[in-house]
Amino acid sequence: MTSSTAQPQTRQVPPLGGLNLTALRLEIRRVLRNRRTLVFILIFPTVFFVLFGLPAKHEVLAGHSALAYIMISMAVYGAMVGTTSGGAAVAVERSLGWSRQLRLTPLRPVAYVLMKLVTAMVLGLIAVVVVFVVGALTGVRMPLHVWLLSALAAWLCSLVFAAFGLFVGFLLPSENVMQYVGPLLAILAVFGGVFVPLDVFSHTLQDIAKFTPVYGVGVIARSPLVGGFTATAVANVVIWTALFGFGAMRLFRRDTARV
């Protein structure tokens, strides 16, 4: 009769901390099946563009086509809402206790957060593309490089709101988190210069706007059309992204520690 010695088993950490294309694809498909999310990122920005842009189709704003200016602004708003809603989807998982269960898996916090960020950025990209397509169909005319650079800037800079969505998603464990955050985004869009040019505000409000997380995104996205690209706008995006990202990671670690 032979005997064998049991060898202790150690849990193997998967490559990239658990980040893989299959899980990412499933996450994106799951989010895209949410009709409320699609309404937020597809319908609202497009409707706002039609309502505000078409009446000003033949007008000039900041020395350039008002229609193009408004289109880029609405693409920024769509990307804001899309990336925020993608990040805030973690609130549903938190309300179900799923984030605590992740503590029992090899999935690393960084990999989990990265999957959420990539998913959020996919939603932001869809929002930008839809608004730009509607703009092209309704008469927006810009040089090709302006189309490309503005779309790319609106999308990439919306990373700050992907981080913001994660932050509020970990902060507010509610399935209806976007019902609270949506109005806040609209207010930020107004006072950050997305819905209306900052020139219409007083100097005091213009100074305050530079400290909102919306300001830098709007300035950078519109700069290929109207100019005005500044280091202040870049710093605004970088600092807010870092702050929201750091806050989201801390809150996620707090959740997964409660097993």
Residues 50-71 have a mean pLDDT of 86
pLDDT greater than 50 at residue 1: no
Residues 202-220 have a mean pLDDT of 93
Q: How far apart are CA 241 and CA 118, in angstroms?
A: 14
- Domain assignment present for residue 115? The answer is yes
Domain that holds residue 246: 17-256
Which residue's entry shows tokens 């088993």? 9
Residue type for 8, please? Answer: P
- Domain assignment present for residue 31? The answer is yes
- State whether residue 130 is helix, strand or coil: helix
Contacts of 101 (CB under 8 A, 6+ apart): none
Q: How far apart are CA 43 and CA 234, in angstroms?
A: 29
Q: How far apart are CA 135 and CA 71, in angstroms?
A: 6
By CB neighbour count within 10 A (0-12 exposed, 13-18 middle, 19+ buried), where does 44 fall? middle
pLDDT band at 132 (very low <50, low <70, confident <90, very high): very high
- Domain assignment present for residue 3? The answer is no
Q: State how many domains the chain has.
A: 1
- Domain assignment present for residue 1? The answer is no
Tokens at residue 197, please?
């040019």
- Domain assignment present for residue 12? The answer is no
What does the pLDDT look like over 185-197, one tens digit per residue?
A: 999 999 999 998 8
Q: What is the largest CA-CA distance in the chain?
A: 93
- Domain assignment present for residue 75? The answer is yes
Mark residue 89 as left, alpha or beta (left: phi above 0; alpha: psi -120 to 50; beta: remaining): alpha
pLDDT greater than 80 at residue 105: no
- Domain assignment present for residue 62? The answer is yes
pLDDT greater than 50 at residue 165: yes
What does the pLDDT look like over 78-95, one tens digit per residue?
A: 999 999 988 887 877 777
How far lies 87's CA from each of 14, 159, 203, in Å?
24, 10, 34
- Domain assignment present for residue 10? The answer is no
Q: What is the pLDDT of residue 90?
A: 80
Strands (E), the chain: 60-61, 64-65
